[in-house]
């Protein structure tokens, strides 16, 4: 009787022991990623929160300030200017990027000869390094010997000063941003190819024009892709740095002083690490708030196809 009870106990604990071993193996395989997440992401994330509450220039000990860094930002005219420039860029560049990417996707969404070549050509600039692209466009936009002003002069138009003009500097960077819409174009192309042809054909038989078919069928069917690129575009636009740093350094007269560029100047030129950390957290909160608003509004116009 005792032997039977013991055997039953061993059989009952055997699956638990096996499950524990399987779980241990899983955690061991995931350990490198978990350690990377803890050390390289969550660790700096928490450290920056602590830095934002202190005055620290790397060389001297920290001095606790509480929320003073955040209060200073709200009264800092350069902070307000950088925020104004960044928001202006979002409204100026992002709609043009999304619209042009969708137009290109529609143009290459056909079976005509050479379409694969054009898809590659339109996508290729988006894989170029940001600094290399900035250097190239700095030459193109040069007011004296740049290619764009040269082409304009050939048709009798005197080109503006572009990056050297307080009025044209930000539109110049918005124009340059259209260079890298290839990845967005591919997302739209994949979405367009997933639109059921039966719906298009039925609407055409009913007499719907090409514009009505696009507005009432195609656009709603790809609205989830539009929503995704909108969210990612807003997040990316708030983090513009390399272009402004290489091409304008924030000038002229702070016309291109983007938020992240100002954050970089405070951190690595003025060595105000505490203040820069506070700016980083303010940016995080702004982006999170904008994203949450978009997610709330997206439920009103984004269509998700549900099987069954």
In a domain, 243, yes or no: yes
Pairwise CA distance, residues 161 & 166, whole Å: 9
Q: Is the peptide bond before 252 cis (omega within 30 degrees of 0)?
A: yes
Count: domains in the chain: 1
Tell me: the pLDDT tens digits for 105-143? 999 998 888 888 989 999 998 888 788 899 999 999 999
Dihedral over Cα of 185, 191, 194, 196: its sign:
negative
In a domain, 86, yes or no: yes
- CATH at 86: 1.10.3720.10
Residue pair 193/134 in contact by the 8 Å Cβ criterion: no
In a domain, 156, yes or no: no
Pairwise CA distance, residues 151 & 174, whole Å: 20
pTM: 0.87
Q: Pick from 148, 222, 161: which is nearest to 192 by CA?
A: 222
Residue pair 146/140 in contact by the 8 Å Cβ criterion: yes
Tell me: the pLDDT tens digits for 66-88? 999 999 999 999 999 999 999 99
Q: Is pLDDT at 278 greater than 50 in this prediction?
A: yes
In a domain, 49, yes or no: no
Q: Nearest 5°: CA angle at 91, between 128 and 162? A: 60
Q: Using CB atoms within 10 A of its CB, is residue 174 exposed (0-12), middle (13-18) or buried (19+)? A: buried
In a domain, 272, yes or no: yes
């Amino acid at each position: 009787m005792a032997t039977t009870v013991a055997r039953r106990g061993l059989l009952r604990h055997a699956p638990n022991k096996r499950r524990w071993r399987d779980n241990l193996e899983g955690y061991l395989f995931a350990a490198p990623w978990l350690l990377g997440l803890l050390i390289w992401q969550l660790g700096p994330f928490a450290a920056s929160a602590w830095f934002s509450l202190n005055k620290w220039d790397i060389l001297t000990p920290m001095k606790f300030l509480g929320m003073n860094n955040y209060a200073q930002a709200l009264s800092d005219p350069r902070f307000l200017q950088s925020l104004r420039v960044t928001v202006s860029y979002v409204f100026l560049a992002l709609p043009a990027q999304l619209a042009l990417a969708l137009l290109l996707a529609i143009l290459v969404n056909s079976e005509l000869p050479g379409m694969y070549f054009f898809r590659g050509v339109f996508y290729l600039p988006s894989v170029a390094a940001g600094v290399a692209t900035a250097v190239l466009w700095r030459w193109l936009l040069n007011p004296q010997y740049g290619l764009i002003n040269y082409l304009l002069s050939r048709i009798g138009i005197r080109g503006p000063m572009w990056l050297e003009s307080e009025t044209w500097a930000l539109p110049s960077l918005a124009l340059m941003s259209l260079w890298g819409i290839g990845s967005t174009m591919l997302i739209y192309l994949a979405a367009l190819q997933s639109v059921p042809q039966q719906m298009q054909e039925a609407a055409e038989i009913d007499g719907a024009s090409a514009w009505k078919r696009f507005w009432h069928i195609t656009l709603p069917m790809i609205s989830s892709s539009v929503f995704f690129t909108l969210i990612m575009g807003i997040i990316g636009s708030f983090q513009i740095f390399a272009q402004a740093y290489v091409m304008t350094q924030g000038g002229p007269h702070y016309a291109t002083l983007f938020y992240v560029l100002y954050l970089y100047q405070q951190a690595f030129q003025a060595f105000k690490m505490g203040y820069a950390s506070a700016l980083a957290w303010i940016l995080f909160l702004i982006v999170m708030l904008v994203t949450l608003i978009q997610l709330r509004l997206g439920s009103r116009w984004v269509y998700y196809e549900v099987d069954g």
